[in-house]
Amino acid sequence: MDLFLQTLLNGLLIGGVIATFTVAFQLAFGVLHVIDFAVGGWVVLGGYLGYYITAWLGLDGFLAIPLAFVLFGALGYLIGPVLYNVRNSRTARPELMALALSFGLFTLLRGGMLTAWGFNTRNVTTALSGESLAIGPVTVPLIRVVAAVFAAAIAGGLFLFLYRTRYGLAIRATAENRHNAALMGVNIGRLSANVYGLYAGITAMAGVLMGAIYSVNPEVGLRYTLFAFFVAVLAGLGSVEGALVAALLLGVVEAFVSTYVGASYSLLAIFTTLFLVLLISPRGILRRGL
């Protein structure tokens, strides 16, 4: 029973961790209609920022979180219009061109980081690294709780922003029909840049947490891209709230299969879940995807 409870907690927290970098990914897809392969690159960039904040300045890794938002949000704001223009260009299959562009961006980030910072694995230390709380028979890793709370806060914040502000209304309108939104006076180009900046900033913030929970090297980005994509498909592409539910589901599936069946079957179980959900509900787990 103890192991069961621990496994359940592990699963929920893994879900929380995955959700940190998938919520904003969904927003970017909803507005830009691009599956951004570079998501793993933004995560790793955030992780490195966390590492340098702790290694060079001797500060707590958590302080890198707001800095990651400002720095990589600004970078994303500059890259956003390029992606938007490619996605809406008059070339044949602009969606594939945009996909190729984001893949190229990912490769560039990965190669650049490999050249600049080498391939050694780095760690982000925070006040809560390695700390845990014992609640009865269950051990709660505090840094993962921070990640789960962060994911929930980001999802909640985005929800309020999208449904309670005029700019959120403009974003939703653009996601639904960009031509109509443009006719209503929404500056689609600037909005896309803002959304991509917001997404890059949030994802890099999640990256600091990933560096604190796991570790960071230029090669791990692909893993985050894959998981973001799994969750996005399971959630229904573009569904922000679905991303939370899907991440938690995948986390719990992974934890139970790893503990009770064998860790080598965990990916198989994740793919089977993905397959079954797509079969039953192609628009994602909450049927709210595009």
d(CA 284, CA 245): 10
Short-list 100, 115, 119, CA closest to 220: 119
Complex with other proteins: residue 58 or 185, whichever CB lies closer: 58
Whether the CB-CB separation of 98 and 86 falls below 8 Å is answered with: yes
Per the structure block, which two tokens stand in for 264? 């080598």
- For 262-283, give one letter per residue: b (16+ CB within 10 A) or e: eeeebeebbeebbeebeeeeeb
Q: Is 227 in the site for other proteins (CB under 8 A)?
A: yes
Candidates 112, 118, 157, 282; binder of other proteins (CB under 8 A) is 118
- Does 262 participate in binding other proteins (rule CB under 8 A)? yes
Q: Which of 52, 159, 161, 214 binds other proteins (CB under 8 A)?
A: 214
CB of 215 to other proteins, least distance (A): 5
Which one among 91, 92, 116, 120 touches other proteins, defined by CB under 8 A?
120
Residue type, position 245, single letter = V
- State which of residues 66, 112, 130, 156 lies at the interface with other proteins (CB under 8 A): 130
Member of 263, 275, 276, 282 binding other proteins (CB under 8 A): 263
Quote the least distance from Cβ 125 to other proteins, whole Å: 7
Token readout for 283 is 């628009």
Choosing from 146, 208, 255, 285, the residue that interacts with other proteins (CB under 8 A) is 255
19 binds other proteins (CB under 8 A): no
**DSSP states of 12-78 as a string?**
HHHHHHHHHTTHHHHHHHHHH----TTHHHHHHHHHHHHHHHHHTT---GGGHHHHHHHHHHHHHHH
215 contributes a contact to other proteins by CB under 8 A: yes
Query: Closest CB to other proteins among 216 and 243?
Result: 216
Does 208 help bind other proteins (rule: CB under 8 A)? no
Residue that has been written with the tokens 């709370």 in this structure: 149
Site for other proteins contains 74 (CB under 8 A): no
**Contact residues: other proteins, CB under 8 A:** 2-3, 6-7, 10-11, 13-14, 17, 114, 118-123, 125, 129-132, 134, 139, 141-144, 213-215, 217, 219-220, 223, 226-227, 251, 254-256, 258-259, 262-264, 266-267
